[in-house]
């Protein structure tokens, strides 16, 4: 699922429907297909870091229907937009699909342009949501960094101003005092970097932990 194009996962037990959807969308998107709910779920589990941008999901499939498949999908990822494509057009079926966690519901037979338009709309909405969440995350991190820098800076200023009044009584005391001053200066420089941080970037630290790049 690695491509510059956005990726669509099409799930349907009818190969004709899979072919039609791929032909309709492959000029703009990378379309991958699964002919059963089970295969779709396995595909997602095998590619946890490269999930599709949207899923087109049939409802009436043997062994694992669309509703059961969607429940499994939501265990893997709760945000991938899912559009049900099905011949079930009753109001209760539509409500059931939306309540199950689908973003939209297209009734067969459908117009190809309608399919394109709905896919485009949901991918744009998904991209906007991701961008908004990332912006909020960055702003939250920046606010937290500013608060931490402020809380450290106040006692640091007090310590640095008082160290100046310490008079070493010998060579060993002089070395200790120099070490203290050097480390206080180092902390002060780190605080300045944090206060003037414009871009939030992370690097790997230990295990799953991340470290802020200064």
Backbone angles phi, psi at 127, to 5 degrees: -65, -40
Look at residue 76 and tell me whether its pLDDT is greater than 80: yes
How far apart (Å, rounded) are the C-alpha atoms in residues 213 and 110? 50
Average model confidence (pLDDT) across the chain: 86
Q: Tell me, what's the pLDDT at 4?
A: 76
Stated length of the chain: 214
Between 8 and 4, the higher pLDDT residue: 8
3-state secondary structure of 113: helix
Cβ neighbors of 70 (< 8 A, separation 6 or more) are 57, 82, 84, 100, 101, 102
Backbone angles phi, psi at 7, to 5 degrees: -110, 135
Between 89 and 129, the higher pLDDT residue: 129
How far apart (Å, rounded) are the C-alpha atoms in residues 101 and 200? 33
**16 band by pLDDT with thresholds 50, 70 and 90:** very high
Report yes or no: 74 and 102 within 8 Å, Cβ to Cβ.
no
pLDDT, tens digit (0-9, with 9 covering 90-100), for 108-138: 888 889 999 999 999 998 888 888 877 777 7
Q: Which of 38-42, 105-109, 178-182, 201-205 has the highest mean pLDDT?
A: 38-42
Q: Which of 19-33, 89-103, 148-162 has the highest mean pLDDT?
A: 19-33
How far apart (Å, rounded) are the C-alpha atoms in residues 133 and 114? 29
Domains and CATH numbers, the chain: 7-110 (3.40.50.2300), 134-212 (no CATH)
Q: Tell me, what's the pLDDT at 88?
A: 79
Backbone angles phi, psi at 201, to 5 degrees: -130, 145
């Amino acid at each position: 699922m690695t491509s510059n194009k956005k990726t669509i996962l099409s799930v349907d037990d009818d190969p004709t429907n899979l072919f039609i959807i791929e032909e309709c969308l492959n000029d703009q998107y990378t379309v991958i297909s699964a002919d059963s709910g089970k295969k779709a779920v396995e595909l997602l589990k095998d590619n946890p870091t490269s999930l599709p941008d949207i899923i087109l999901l049939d409802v009436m499939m043997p062994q694992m229907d669309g509703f059961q498949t969607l429940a499994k999908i939501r265990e893997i990822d709760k945000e991938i937009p899912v559009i049900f494509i099905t011949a079930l057009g009753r109001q209760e079926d539509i409500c059931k699909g939306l309540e199950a966690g689908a973003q939209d519901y297209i009734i067969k037979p459908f117009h190809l342009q309608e399919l394109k338009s709905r896919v485009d709309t949901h991918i744009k909405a998904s991209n906007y949501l991701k961008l908004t969440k990332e912006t909020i995350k960055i702003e939250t991190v920046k606010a937290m960094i500013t608060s931490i820098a402020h809380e450290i800076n106040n006692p640091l200023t007090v310590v640095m101003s008082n160290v100046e009044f310490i008079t070493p009584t010998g060579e060993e005391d002089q070395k200790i005092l120099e070490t203290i001053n050097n480390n206080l200066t180092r902390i002060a420089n780190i605080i300045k970097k944090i206060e003037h941080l414009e871009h939030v970037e992370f690097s790997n630290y230990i295990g799953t932990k991340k470290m802020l790049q200064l």
